[in-house]
Amino acid sequence: MTNESLWSIFINASLVNNFVLAYFLGICPFLGVSAKLETATRMGGAVTFVMLVSSICAFGIQLLLVAIDAPYLKLISFIAVIASTVQLVEMFIKKVSPALFRTLGIFLPLITTNCAILGLALFQTNKGYSFVQCIVYALGAGAGFTLALVLMAGLREKLELAEVPDVTKGTAMAVMLAGLLSVTFMGFGGLGG
Amino acid sequence: MATPTKSSTDEFIKGLWRENPVFVQVLGMCPVLAVSNTALNALAMGLATAFVLIMSNIVVSSLRSFIPKQVRIATYILIIATFVTVVDYVIQAVSLDLYKALGAFISLIVVNCLILGRAEAFASKNTVGRSIMDGLGMGIGFAFALFCLGAVREILGNGTLFDVQLFHDSFQNWVVMILPSGGFFTLAAWLLLFNWLEQRKERKAKTATLALSGEVAQ
């Protein structure tokens, strides 16, 4: 267990060690879903939500695995439990709030096996966070992911109107933009500590 | 997609260049960017991924008639996760330094979309032999691409390749290449190169057909 303050965990996860721009987790949705601002915002919401759920799951699994002394099952059980929990939650939301389901629903199955989700579960276990710290960590990571996605979408929407050479169209341009964003985020390096 | 007429050598070759997982299909980006800060890390990661890819392709294709359609994705993920756990422990046993350098990214091979993608798109529809060739081709193509990135980043960012000093002492390291943003920039540069090659090929093909039709018209 670490004594990091909750605030510093949040800032660290969202800005300093941004999941997308510093750890390169969740690059696929970052490049895939960042073409429109509205979709990007929704995707960010969905990812934050799944992160929260999986963080709680991972915390429970870790306790269980330590108790039965089977650390080699970590990866398999993380993946299996997170995937099925998200599926359950998805059905639950569909039943309870169709409006919310329409906003988040399409993305949920997509992001279950997103590396950012599994990465979060693994990092929090490696760092030995307590339950509350885990939740804050998940929220911070989600906020950071959303921020990166929204910034990227805004840039790409502007870029639609710009005249770029043929060769740079598509993924190459998106990757270059991500590089620039990543440089910007390095500026947060001194925060949080 | 593979057609039955293709030879298995074709399945192997396509992953290396024409359908290169990184440069052409842009799959499995997370490890590509994260661990490519030195050539050695990149190569190790590439080989680990290739191993998991080949093994999971073998298992998935040999079990393809037993796996029910509804739960296939979950089954594939479990198969992949098993091999990743194996790789994780093997690397830890062989070289602890490497294990520390790669960190959580070894475990994250599980969610590499390339592996799941090949299981779903290829191994679940083809024989074991073809799946092995496909896995080999894609795996080596992936490792090759990772190495390309890692080598560029290490040479420019550190002035070394496999820890061998390449330049005179006066060489100023491009620190940015080692940092996360350098990964994005290097990848963008490679993608640009591939786009350019592709477009040049298309242009050539077009001028060739134009010339041909011109001759016919005359």
C-beta atoms of B81 and A79 within 8 A: yes
ipTM, two decimals: 0.78
CA distance B75 to B51: 18
Q: What pLDDT, in 10s, does the model give residues B75-131?
A: 888 898 899 999 989 998 988 888 888 877 888 888 887 888 888 888 888 888 888
pLDDT of residue B83: 92
Q: Does the beta carbon of B110 lie under 8 angstroms from any beta carbon of chain A?
A: yes
Q: Does the beta carbon of B82 lie under 8 angstroms from any beta carbon of chain A?
A: yes
Nearest CB among B108, B188, B195 relative to A119 is that of B108
Burial level of A126, CB count in 10 A (0-12/13-18/19+)?
A: exposed
pLDDT of residue B197: 84
Could you tell me the pTM of the whole model? 0.81
CA distance B24 to B174: 27
Q: Which chain B residues are Cβ-neighbours of A179 within 8 angstroms?
A: 181-185, 188
Q: What angle, rounded to 10 degrees, do the helices at B180-217 and B128-158 form?
A: 120
- A122 to chain B, closest Cα gap in Å: 7
Q: Which chain A residues are Cβ-neighbours of B183 within 8 angstroms?
A: 24, 179
- B194 to chain A, closest Cα gap in Å: 9
Q: What pLDDT, in 10s, does the model give residues A5-15?
A: 888 888 888 88
pLDDT tens track, chain B, 218 positions: 444 456 777 777 777 777 777 777 777 777 778 888 888 888 888 899 999 999 999 999 999 888 888 778 778 888 988 999 999 899 989 888 888 888 778 888 888 878 888 888 888 888 888 888 888 988 898 888 888 888 888 888 877 777 777 777 777 777 788 788 888 888 888 888 888 888 888 888 888 887 777 766 65
Helix or strand (DSSP H, E) at A130: none
Residue pair B115/B49 in contact (Cβ under 8 Å)? The answer is yes
CA distance A184 to A187: 6
For A33, A65, A97, A117, the CA distances from A90, given in Å and listed in that order, are: 20, 26, 10, 16
Which residue of chain B is at minimal alpha-carbon distance from A21?
Answer: B180
Residue pair A103/A49 in contact (Cβ under 8 Å)? The answer is no
For chain B, domain boundaries: 8-214
For chain A, domain boundaries: 6-184
C-beta atoms of B34 and A123 within 8 A: no
Residue pair A146/A136 in contact (Cβ under 8 Å)? The answer is no
Q: Which one of B75, B92, B108 would you mutate to disrupt binding with A, by most A Cβ within 10 Å of its Cβ?
A: B108
In this prediction, residue A125 has a pLDDT band, given cuts at 50, 70 and 90, of: confident
Residue pair B2/B11 in contact (Cβ under 8 Å)? The answer is yes
Q: Which B residues, 61 through 80, put their C-beta within 8 Å of a C-beta on chain A?
A: 74, 77-78
Residue pair B142/B26 in contact (Cβ under 8 Å)? The answer is no
